[in-house]
Amino acid sequence: MAKMLTSHRPGLAVSLKLCAVGLFTIMAALIKATSAEVPPGEAVFFRSFFAIPVIVIWLVARGELRNGLVSKQPMGHFWRGLLGTMAMGLTFAGLGLLPLPEVTAIGYATPIFTVVLAALMLGETIRMVRISAVLIGLVGVMIMVWPRLGGGSLEDGATLGAMFILAATIARAFVQIHIRKLVQTEHTAAIVFYFSATASLISLLTLPFGWVMPSAGTLGLLIIAGLIGGIAQILVTSSYRFGPASMLAPYDYASMIFAILLGYFWFGELPTAVMLTGAALVVAGNILVIWREHQLGLERARARAVTDPKS
């Protein structure tokens, strides 16, 4: 979903990305704080619906509201919205059952699953470096989830929560694959806007399954979560205008610092040594993928320079 680089300003790019990562973590904490009262489907609605005004204001300010929302693949946006809504709902369900740092750590597996799916669905070639990265990442995932899944049962909330987050991580990998196709024809603004709109509509289908009238305090937290989600989406999208994805990707892992702080001071949660060990392996695998993608990008740039000296 990143736009092409418009100017190389690494300091601004990193600042925008870190602000976005921090806001997304705060949003997750707000959803977790409401999880005892509000079902996941209802939380998805508030998160998506109240992000729309923020996104529309941003598009108007950039003069992209009319042209940016023109779509050549309306069904592509629907499927992206369906997959993304599933991932969001599963994540919100898991937030109510697992500590915030653990949810954050398991979520780091998305790029690992994306590499696997890209090979299976897009026919991308993965060589030894990326195969090694996938294996390292998968070992890390197993270390994190095994204490929850090994010997657990569906009656155990933590076991169910781990299954939800793992499923959400795989669903987000499918989303990433789908976005790779969408960006070939669709404007970034359209992808951002239509996801929030589609998620708002799809989440309404969960109305018969236990929506509640939240208390005033909970309602305020849900609305704030939606507004923060919209702002964070804008910040992360804007960050890619000033710095390449390969440079900014490692800053996603700052979310663990935010998650540990919020988990401890807000929910009294502490990460376990096993969770941190698994997370470190997943992060190592992801960084290996990022490094390899950067190297491939340099090789492609050199090849273009040779074949087109004027470029």
- pLDDT mean by block of 10 residues, the chain; 311 residues: 60 91 96 96 97 92 82 89 95 95 92 86 79 89 86 72 94 88 82 92 94 95 96 88 78 92 94 92 87 67 49 38
Q: Output the CA torsion sign for 57, 262, 286, 9.
A: positive
Number of Cβ within 10 Å of residue 226's Cβ equals 27
Number of Cβ within 10 Å of residue 215's Cβ equals 12
Q: pTM of this prediction?
A: 0.88
Number of Cβ within 10 Å of residue 172's Cβ equals 23
Number of Cβ within 10 Å of residue 77's Cβ equals 20
Q: How far apart are CA 2 and CA 202, in angstroms?
A: 25
Listed in sequence order, the residues at least 6 apart from 112 whose beta carbon sits closer than 8 Å to its beta carbon are: 133, 134, 137, 138, 141, 282, 285, 286, 289
Question: What confidence score (pLDDT) does residue 309 get?
Answer: 47
